[in-house]
Structure 1
Amino acid sequence: MSMARRRQLLLVVLFSVFLLQLLHLAESNHKHGHGRRGCGKTCKSTASCKKGLVCLQGECKDDPDKETTICKPLEPAPGQGQCRASGFLHAPKSSKGCKDCCQVGKSYPQFKCSPPVTKFTKAILTVNDFQPGGDGGGASECDSKFHSNNDLVVALSTGWFAKGKRCGRFVIIHAPSGKSVRARVVDECDSLRGCDAEHGFYPPCQPNLVDASPSVWRALGVSKNSDKFGWMDITWSDAQGASD
């Protein structure tokens, strides 16, 4: 056998070994859940699973009793465009106890992004208390101040807040009724952090929220007695004429 032929055969063998190693690695990662915090790892008891997971049918999975979402696919939720969760925030060992506060043992999705901004960007309008001592948590991110709930002010999800680039700028909020209002951006609705005093002990915000003062809701003709108050589909757009 010629030297050139031997080299060719050696290269074929080495390439085959390389492919087998890649296949073994991929199978191992799938089996042991290396890509998602131990999800799918073979187990005999919950003690062999990572925190927040339980052993079910021989595999480490989310705890159905605690409703953990560690293994839940990081897929965009309805209305969130192509914005996918970047990770999960695990709630602290103690809870403030309010209805919407972070719950012990639960995990909450985190988002670095928000859906793309268009001429009429789809969003969910929520209500926030911007005054000191309210359930909005700490002072506003833009100016380190609290604001009256009679002011037309909003907080935007992390991606739309754009590291403060929209601070002081105005957005126009369009309600399904046809009414609209011009409001100033003063804060970030943090989509990465939460479950602490600074964030009112609430989970991280969804990536598609416009968190508005009660005054904004009144301007849109939605009273506190309405079943839409606190959670309503809207669209918003950047107002012409940057800031005040």
Structure 2
Amino acid sequence: MCHNTTSPSGGGCQSSGTMHCHGKSFPKYRCSPPVTSSTRATLTNNDFSEGGDGGGPSECDDSYHKNSELIVALSTGWYASGSRCGDTIRITSTKTGRTVMAKVVDECDSLNGCDDEHDNQPPCRNDIVDASNAVWQALGLDIEVGEEDVTCSTA
């Protein structure tokens, strides 16, 4: 799942600049952390429905999705220019130990943000798995928390 398309020397993922919005600075990333059999990631919540906080339709199929679907958007580096579209990934909560399989349908843009297309949200960090309500529920997590530590891998 989580795939690093541009691996800088040393295997790390360095910021490719900053974006200023809402009076704060946010790093921008073209890459994501290297993949292992259980890559650490941050789970966030996304509303993939029309009018939801996901902004426009999903990048993979130019469609909106129900939040009852087991679906995710990946940070730019892991999304890999759409090469992960339709892939199933395994997500495991470090809090509950539960695992769920979810389909990649969108990008969580790590280079752009703070505009109408991105619902005025800043760029995603480079380790984000932005998941539907159904993923959160399957993992037994409280959506209101906002962020949870997970591990992920290809199915």
Q: TM-score, normalised by structure 1?
A: 0.57
Q: Describe the SS at the equivalent of 2:136.
A: helix
Distance in structure 1 (CA, Å) of the matches to 2:107 and 2:154? 16
Q: Describe the SS at the equivalent of 2:68.
A: coil
1:140 maps to which of 58, 62, 74: 58
Match of 1:219 in 2: 138
Offset, 1:224: 3.8
Q: TM-score, normalised by structure 2?
A: 0.89
Contact 1:157 1:191 in 2 (8 A): yes
Q: Percent identity?
A: 56
Offset, 1:143: 0.7
Distance in structure 2 (CA, Å) of the matches to 1:182 and 1:108? 30
Q: Describe the SS at the equivalent of 1:198.
A: helix
- By relative contact order (CA 8 Å, sep 6+), the higher-ranking structure is 2
1:88 maps to which of 4, 8, 18: 18
Distance in structure 2 (CA, Å) of the matches to 1:197 and 1:235? 31
Contact 1:138 1:197 in 2 (8 A): no
Q: Deviations over 1:97-116 (max 9, x none)?
A: xxxxxx1x433210011000
Question: Structure 2 stretches of 5 or more lacking a match?
Answer: 1-10
Match of 1:123 in 2: 41
- What pairs up with 1:26-37 in 2 under 5 angstroms? none
Q: Of Structure 1 and Structure 2, which has the larger fraction of its residues in strand? A: 2
Q: CA RMSD in A?
A: 1.3
Offset, 1:134: 1.0
Match of 2:75 in 1: 157
Q: Which runs of 4+ in 1 moved over 6 A?
A: none
Larger radius of gyration: 1
Matched, 1:231 2:150: no
